[in-house]
Amino acid sequence: MKEFLLILCLLLTVTFLPAQSAIYSSASAHHPIVAQDGMVATQHHLATDVGVAILEAGGNAIDAAVGVGFALAVVLPRAGNLGGGGFMLVHEAASSTTTAINYREKAPAAAHRNMYLDAKGEVDSQSFNSSYLSVGVPGTVAGLLHALDKYGTMTVDQVIAPAILLAENGFAITHDLASLLSKYKERLSQTPASSALFYPNGTAPEVHDVLVQKDLAWSLKQIAKRGHKGFYEGPLAKKLAADMKANGGIITRKDLKKYRVSETPVVSGNYRGYEIASMPPPSSGGVHLIQILNILEAYDIHSTGHNSAETIHLMVEAMRRAYADRSEHLGDPAFWDVPVEGLTSKDYAAALGTSIDLAKASLSDDIKPGQPGDYESEETTHFSVVDKWGNAVSNTYTLNFSFGTGLVAAGTGILLNNEMGDFSAKPGVANAYGLIGGEANAVQAGKQPLSSMTPTIVLKDGQPILVTGSPGGSRIITTVLQIIMNVIDHEMNIAEASHASRIHHQWYPDKLYHEKYFNVDTKKLLMEKGHQLEQRAAMGSTQSIHLSKGLLFGASDPRRPDASTRGL
């Protein structure tokens, strides 16, 4: 173990350069990282270093992904986490199979349908989004360890060692993290534990200050020593439950002990000859990604062109119909009969397509959830890993809002999620992302809230050609959609696909959201069709790897600072 740690520490000090390649196009101003023996794309360069170092040390993609997941819990506190949950896709090269690991948070046993309604029957947004009652039973540690145990080759203490070093010794605060800690100071100072962690001198830290997280290092050591039980039972679980009880939370030691990961087949579709493998419910991401692609497949998107008014009009109309269905049909399949087969059916997509007018925008008031019959804060984070054997991991996990609740469980260094806010506190009332939900996503003990997280692997002839995903709340689905369309329909390299301007529509509010740099003439043509446009902040933070001609091409989204893609 000591020899492994020494090798790992040395590797983390090396700047890994991409493999040299003659592939270069003078037609493009955007160029991906190129490699051939492995690649890691994450939202923080230190986590990328950890993943690359594990690959260098002989680990596979799953080993590296788990190491990245634990490292991000240290260096990306806004979204990386031990106290949240998420979804992972694993592609095994040896068997050519892709599977989905669901480690989404769960409602505690004491949760009930009307727990967030006040005396007037209205939603109390404070308890719903920003209190100890907002916290779902965390699944991240269980999910990462399940993946490692079943698909990895290294031990828990090996892959978690870099995260422990980063927490115990500290790391230099970047401009982005310094800005966020200043911005969220009030919310991150609600409890002595969170205030002491991020503002030990009473003021926001500055760039290049070192963030040391001794309590988080202790928690990571509990996991390294005892695995699953190190988090869900024993001293750490006792501290989490005690902190809950002391602050009006309802998660108990029994809730923690009962938490289990589930592994299911991916939801899959076919788009222009490519297999789309994505996350099934309780994520809505895969179902509606495939539904939108099915609708668009009827049109010659390549000919209408990237981000033309005609192409965007078609995309918006497909998005509008999919998000309407999301409000009615999607929820935790353990509690609700989700018509996955119907929603992802080509025939159902064709039926929806008949209502699209090529010359005029639909009104969302006129679009209702369909009848398929038999046929997420935006401060999530995604990472993608591919190894030299062809194994691949696409992982998206989150605390929900930036820094989750902003509450740190005393003595643990662990930020707590506010994922209960992804339920429909009151069916028919929009959540913090403007998404409307119904009975399918009502609060219920043991239930998992609906999510938009969309980790995705695109395959051709059973082999991965694209590994991607993104944060972005309700915009995750449409962000991943545009990466896939950019690669398949518009034949972009992965850097071009990642850098291109994005749009979003989610049924309600009836707005076509677009990023800052959006063609003025295109805007005019879309408004003439009846679309209501509104500029929004940059959408998503994709971490993508494109596999082609025996090489790996990677790109981290430029929309978020500190992100990094590196290859071997």
DSSP 58-111: T--HHHHHHHHHHHHHHH-TTT--SSSEEEEEEEETTTTEEEEEEE--B--TT-
DSSP assignment, residue 398?
E
- Beta strands 543-548 and 533-535: pairing type? unpaired
The answer to whether the beta carbons of residues 135 and 420 sit under 8 Å apart is yes
Best CA proximity match to 257, nearest among 242, 274, 238: 238
Among 99, 252, 380, 565, which one carries the catalytic annotation?
380
What is the number of alpha carbons within 13 Å of residue 221 lying toward its C-beta?
Answer: 13
Planar angle of CA 106, 111, 114, nearest 5 degrees: 125
DSSP per residue, 447-507: PPPPB----EEEEETTEEEEEE----GGGHHHHHHHHHHHHHTS---HHHHHHS--EE--S
Using CA atoms of 184, 187, 193, 198 in order, give the dihedral in degrees to the nearest 10.
Answer: 10
Q: How many CB atoms lie within 10 A of CB 456?
A: 30
Residues 6 or more apart whose Cβ sits within 8 Å of residue 335: 444, 447
Both ends of the chain: CA-CA distance in Å? 24
Parallel, antiparallel or unpaired: strands 512-514 and 533-535? parallel
304 assigned to active site: no
Q: How far apart are CA 70 and CA 83, in angstroms?
A: 11
Both tokens of residue 191? 């409890």
Do residues 40 and 51 make contact, with C-beta atoms less than 8 angstroms apart? yes
- Residues annotated as catalytic are 380
